[in-house]
Amino acid sequence: MSLDAAILKALRSSPSRGVSGADLSQQLGVSRAAVWARMEELRQLGYDISASPHFGYKLVSVPDVLHADDLLSRLDGKQVIGRDIHVFQSTTSTNDIVEKMARDGAREGVVVFAETQTQGRGRLGRKWVSPPKRGLWFSILLKPDLRPQSSTQITVGAAVALTRAIQARTSIVVETKWPNDLLIDGRKVAGILTELRAEPDKIKYLILGIGIDVNVRPEEFPEEIRHLATSLRAVTGHQVHRADLAEAVLRELDQVYRDICREDFTGVAQEWEQNCSTIGREVTVTFGEHTIHGIAESLDFDGALLVRSQHGHLERILGGEIHVLPKPGRSKGSPRP
């Protein structure tokens, strides 16, 4: 852990009493002058740190910036996901950065955030809009001992983790749409892009890319998707602290990932089904020129969606375009009996 991360961790561990410069100096094995210098640097970054002869240093408030040392200081160091964190001001796509790291032999669990992406992408090569400092755009390197066709477990697990973290920080209950969208009132608020490098029977590594529209303003979405997209700020009516949310997301992702690695996907799948806007609904699935129409019944052990087709067959859906049909019921204009 860097000195800044250690200082922020120490300040967080004593929020009311504060920590004296002498204690910090001893605890971290550096001079009091070095501690003072780092405090000045942190203040420059926007951290409000009070200092008094009596109480020592206290963390009064943290700015709404993503700062790798800050994020690291919030985690307990025993996590796989988040054992190493990088924040870029701007990248093409955080998945690209993690891909490069993977090729250079990086350990699993490294997380790369960017304040903005110039070529953010979604599923099937679609563009993902990432306005500067308005969201959480990040990617994680994972090396699960899974076969390629089980990689949907990771996508589904990530949806569960995001759902938990968003609910904990904003009290919003999001819906999940198989396999990779998080919705609020039918509008997309977050997406998950899973890319993998594999042999036919074994994943070499997997890159989990996540985009959460935290404080994006309606006018920042491209016009053509404005009616389909939303942000946590738009729904709650107030700014959501991104670093706090990032911390919750990384903790929950780590928890879910451990469950999947312990071959305990069943619990994850059950939780996913509870939040799901797809299960039990009439759906149309299109892949290439094929279309399946039926009722989405459940997830299987690989994370595939099981759809009971109109002909009574149970079809395993691993991808394609899912369209959830509106629930049957009286239309607004129908006469009352």
Q: Which residues sit at the interface with a copy of itself, rule CB under 8 A? A: 123-124, 145, 147-149, 151-152, 155, 179, 193-202, 204, 287-288, 303, 318-320
Nearer residue to a copy of itself within complex by CB, 200 or 326: 200
CB 194 within 8 A of CB 209: yes
Residue whose structure tokens are 């910036």:
65
Nearer residue to a copy of itself within complex by CB, 42 or 190: 190
Taking the complex as a whole, the smallest distance from the CB of residue 96 to a copy of itself amounts, in Å, to: 9
- d(CA 155, CA 153) in angstroms, rounded, equals 6
CB 183 within 8 A of CB 275: no
Nearer residue to a copy of itself within complex by CB, 39 or 98: 98
Taking the complex as a whole, the smallest distance from the CB of residue 90 to a copy of itself amounts, in Å, to: 20
CB 80 within 8 A of CB 145: no
Report how far apart the first and last C-alpha atoms of the chain are (Å, whole number).
69
Nearer residue to a copy of itself within complex by CB, 76 or 201: 201
Q: Give the amino acid at 30.
A: V
Taking the complex as a whole, the smallest distance from the CB of residue 176 to a copy of itself amounts, in Å, to: 15
- d(CA 302, CA 336) in angstroms, rounded, equals 45
Taking the complex as a whole, the smallest distance from the CB of residue 159 to a copy of itself amounts, in Å, to: 13
Question: What single DSSP character describes residue 323?
Answer: E
DSSP string, 227-244: TTB--HHHHHSS---HHH
Nearer residue to a copy of itself within complex by CB, 151 or 278: 151
Taking the complex as a whole, the smallest distance from the CB of residue 267 to a copy of itself amounts, in Å, to: 20
